[in-house]
Amino acid sequence: MFLIEYYKKQKIARLCERLGKYGNHVFIGFPFNATRPERVFIDDYAEILNHAEIINPIGSFCLGKFSTISTHLTVVTDNHTPTVGIPYSFTGILHINERTKDVKVGDDCWLGTHVTLLPGANIGRGSVVGANTLCNKVTPPYAVLVGIPAKIVGVKFSLEQILKHESVIYPKEERMTRAELENLFATYYQGMKILGTDHLSEEDELRVNDLMKSRNFTPYK
């Protein structure tokens, strides 16, 4: 058991050195594969569970703070363009006429198991992405996304809940304004189901506070 734990720690240490960014209090489950780890950027308090596959020969992948990704994530940042006179298997080797777009996951997101993110996917802050979803586009903050391709089916919190939520986890200069949220809801979320809740028992509140202290995170409110 000691040797297994030692081996894991060594793998994590080597990965930290190779990634473009490895923030504070980050967790990465193994196996974890990235074509170009120096183009993978993981912010503070983010988590990626095991069996993630980042296929990024040219593009980059960015994961925002507080976000968690479940098992078997697939990220692809580059597509091969069929080119006259070149067998398709050669285009992947030579990267001729490659179509590259970075992939981003915003802060405070949850991605379920077996999610696939294709070139140009940009998951907005605070979003929830259901299991087996495929996304290749920019999505708004706080969206609940499911399906192939990804479709908005709800919103994570109500407008008032988002204001309360962001006052706790973000400094003032990073929070969305009421005007921004009103425009967001008018554009995307009219009549949409709200997924989250603001209920928290006293016992759970104590557990949350203990965890925040153990991770050296101080709420902003």
**Quick check: 56 and 97 in contact, CB under 8 A?**
no
10 Cβ contact partners less than 8 Å away, ≥ 6 residues apart: none
- Which of 163, 174, 160, 146 shows the shortest CA–CA distance to 66? 174
| Predicted pLDDT of residue 5 | 63
Question: How far is residue 143's CA from residue 149's CA, in Å, rounded to a whole number?
Answer: 14
Q: Quote the longest CA-to-CA distance of the chain.
A: 68
- pLDDT tens for 154-200 read 999 999 999 999 999 999 999 999 999 999 999 999 999 999 999 99
Cα separation values, 174 from 29, 102, 195, 214, Å: 29, 23, 23, 24
- In this prediction, residue 4 has a pLDDT band, given cuts at 50, 70 and 90, of low
Pairwise CA distance, residues 130 & 189, whole Å: 17
- Give the pLDDT band (50/70/90) at residue 2: low
Average pLDDT for 99-104? 94
Burial of 132: CB neighbours in 10 Å, binned 0-12, 13-18, 19+: middle
Residue 1 is predicted with a pLDDT of: 57
